[in-house]
Amino acid sequence: MSDSQYDVVVFGATSFVGQILTGYMLDTYGNNNDFKWAIAGRSEEKLQAVKTKYQAENIPHFIADAANEEQLTKIAQKTKVVVSTVGPYALYGEPLIKVCTKLGTDYCDLTGEIQWYKRMVTKYEQDAKKTGARIVHCSGFDSIPSDLGVLFLQTKAKQLFGSTCQQVKMRVAKLKGGASGGTIASMVNIAKEAAKDPELRKELKNPYSVCPENHNFKSRQDNVSGAVFDEDFNCWVGPFVMGIVNTRVVHRSNALLDNAYQEQFKYDEAMMMGQDKKGKSRARNMSWGLSAFMVLAAIKPTRWVLERFILLKPGQGPTEEEQLKGHYDMRFMGIHENGQKIVTKVTGDRDPGYGSTAKMLGQAAVCLSKISKQEKEGGFWTPASIYGERFIQALTEHSGLTFEVLDKK
């Protein structure tokens, strides 16, 4: 059991996103006695470099390799929450989940690797329930804006219409910001695993793949995979790369919130591409581009060419200027069974994958450290199901997000 010398330890402080998170924690919480935090990673030299870069010399640090359970245990015993950015998680993440669920230490991360999420729930949920460890995957751009965006819309729908909407559509209106080597490495790893495993390919198509086993959801879910004209939003839409993760997380939230969005709930995500012919061809190109990437990443020789010459390497990502100039705007439409509709908007003020993700992940870790074990028991939670509405306020105050109702009729 943790003796809670620290509230939060950032594991992977040397990663691209871990460094931004370290800077954010320092700016937001400093190094005072009210909130105690530390950083960790596998390399003393790299951790020292991060401390120098952010003038964080007084922040304690720990050395641990992601595969060394003894070192991970020493960290997990000292803190309420470990927040990890060490990925691809399917390659490096399991020992820390094992240690945290064994000790009852809370944990959150940035994984978007839904196949790994499923493996971890299946393998460690019983341990987490026994020890009281709360595990919260997908605490970055995927899937906080989607998961909390749906919670926000449904809360408003309940106030306005008396009950939640049976269907919600999320459409990305604007998105500016680049990918990092770590994220690309995670996507390549999913393609690689899926190419070898037909069961996994089937699992990746299941919208309820990370729902608890006893869920009763049967609705056929929409899935925008090509260019489609969306009458509700009056524009062409194309596939949204994170939809495969976000939709799964939102359905798990519905299950963990005792079907608060209803048993027949339908949810899908897509990107708005414009109303005219150009919009149609953009949507088509997006669909072809994504399919081509997954095929090329799945085949060994082309994967080698991509990794060697084209894609960013782990540790690389958008510049500080690109992070600052980045932003996103997501629209949600709730369709109530009585025919009424509500439209809401969620925005973020930095590039989604890094500047904004680091601020959301920092708040997720802080929020988790403040939720008592009596209030939420051990298990694998989603952001919406564990943090609830208080998190919307924290994200608005400290992470540059906005949540707004645009239209209700």
Ligand X SMILES: NC(=O)c1ccc[n+]([C@@H]2O[C@H](COP(=O)([O-])OP(=O)(O)OC[C@H]3O[C@@H](n4cnc5c(N)ncnc54)[C@H](OP(=O)(O)O)[C@@H]3O)[C@@H](O)[C@H]2O)c1
Interface residue list for ligand X (CB under 6 A): 12, 14-18, 41-43, 46, 65-67, 85-89, 92, 110, 112, 140-142, 180-183, 186, 314-315, 317, 353, 357
Residue closer to ligand X, measured from CB, 64 or 237? 64
Q: If residue 403 lies in a helix (H) or strand (E), which one and from where to where?
A: strand 401-408
Q: How far is the CB of 11 from ligand X (least distance, A)?
A: 8
Q: CB 71 → ligand X: shortest distance, Å? A: 9
**CA nearest to 166, candidates 266, 268, 270:** 266
Output 41 or 279, the one with its CB closest to ligand X: 41
Closest listed residue to residue 145, CA positions, set 401, 407, 327: 401
Q: Decide whether 22 or 164 has the Cβ nearer to ligand X.
A: 22
Q: What are phi and psi of 232, to 5 degrees?
A: -65, -40
User: Contact 270/239 with Cβ under 8 angstroms?
Assistant: yes
Q: Which is nearer to ligand X, 88 or 104 (CB)?
A: 88
Mapped onto helix, strand or coil, the DSSP state of residue 407 is strand
Paired tokens of 324: 């600052």
Q: Which is nearer to ligand X, 177 or 239 (CB)?
A: 177
Helix or strand run (H / E) with residue 266 = strand 266-274
Query: Which lies closer to ligand X via its Cβ, residue 138 or residue 272?
Result: 138
Region at 235 (left for phi over 0; alpha for psi -120 to 50; beta for the rest)? beta
**Nearest distance from C-beta of residue 102 to ligand X, angstroms:** 19
For 226, counting Cβ atoms within 10 Å of its Cβ (0-12 exposed, 13-18 middle, 19+ buried), the class is middle
Shortest Cβ 179–ligand X spacing (Å): 8
List, in order, residues 6 or more apart from 50 with CB less than 8 Å away.
Answer: 13, 14, 18, 19, 22, 39, 41, 56
**What is d(CA 142, CA 7) in angstroms, rounded to the nearest whole number?**
24
In the complex with ligand X, which residue's Cβ is closer, 180 or 344?
180
Q: How far is the CB of 324 from ligand X (least distance, A)?
A: 17
Beta carbon of residue 17, minimum distance to ligand X (angstroms, whole number):
4
From 404, 170, 346, 348, select the one nearest 271 (Cα to Cα): 170
Distance CA 45, CA 50 (A): 9
Q: Where are the beta strands (DSSP E) in 275-400?
A: 327-335, 341-348, 379-381
The residue sitting closest to ligand X, measured at its beta carbon, is: 87
CB 66, min distance to ligand X, A: 3
In whole angstroms, the minimum distance from the beta carbon of 281 to ligand X comes to 28
Contact predicate 247/289, CB 8 Å: no
Q: Work out how close the CB of 242 gets to ligand X at its nearest, in angstroms, rounded to a whole number.
A: 7
Q: Which is nearer to ligand X, 154 or 183 (CB)?
A: 183
Considering the complex, what minimum distance in angstroms separates the CB of residue 262 from ligand X? 27
- 46 vs 325 by CB, closer to ligand X: 46
Give the span between the Cα atoms of 360 and 382, in whole angstroms: 14
Query: In terms of CB distance, is 14 or 363 closer to ligand X?
Result: 14
Contacts of 315 (CB under 8 A, 6+ apart): 15, 16, 181, 182
